[in-house]
Amino acid sequence: MTIPHLTAADGTTLPAIGLGTYRLNGSAGVDAIGQAIRAGYRLIDSAVNYENEGAVGRAARAAGDVHDELVVTSKLPGRHHRYDEALTTIEESVFRTGLDRIDLYLIHWPNPTADLYVQAWRALIEARERGLVRHIGLSNFLPEHIDRLVAETGVAPVVNQIEVHPYFPQQEALDHHREHGILVQGWSPLGHGNDLLQHPAIVEIATAHGVSPAQTILAWHVARQVIPLPKAASPQRQAENLDVFGIKLTDGEVEAITALGRPDGRLADQDPAVYEEF
């Protein structure tokens, strides 16, 4: 299966869908991630705080002929935002994966009260210059945080990974990122622990296209140029989630799903303006 790619302002291209790996750990995680790679996934998302960089790296190293096509991602935790600590943490991430470098490295959360994310960003820039990582970006950053990074360092992220799903569509954030040539990845794209997959509007659209509600929601992300990162361990779910690029939602269907957004739509009230994770 050929997956389309999206292109950032600096020419960086990323696959239009990726695999979330939170809680895919140990040998079972290696097996699940390896199966996903064989199914066609090329963007593999991880983080220091997921404690599975080793599993991701092991699966990536075993990928054979497609190894060079993979985009392995990890993320810097909030407890290591200080410049020297950040660089050491990135080095350790590379060592844990067993890879020559990590393809995409992100700052996991801005943690604005600690106010060290500019130091962390300078460390990511240095890590890229040293060849530890290939591309650098952000996760859960608000536009004002991004603007500050660019103003103080002159370096823009290629991607920002944020919470996006039909109950929290983030249209203003998407518009801002598109205007600045920053790609958007969506975490928890299918929601989590809510009734999203049973919502009548989504079920109706899914039925009209002869696909599942999950596929409908992922097609909605694709139509909005958001790179979804659905997590799935079973081969069936992995294959189903990947098979969405032939689903052509109408503008009206995209708008109907977007209209499901709620003011309190965040899954866990994790507003990056105040929420902090270490």
The CA–CA distances, whole Å, from 263 to 169, 200, 236 equal 10, 20, 34
DSSP code of 4? P
DSSP 35-60: HHHHHT--EEE--GGGT-HHHHHHHH
| Residue 50 is a catalytic residue | yes
The Cβ of residue 131 has, within 10 Å, a number of other Cβ atoms equal to: 10
Facing residues of 45 across strands? 20
Give the number of other Cβ atoms within 10 Å of residue 95's Cβ. Answer: 12
Catalytic pick among 41, 50, 117, 167: 50
Helix, strand, coil abundance in the chain, percent, nearest 5: 45, 15, 40
Active site residues: 50
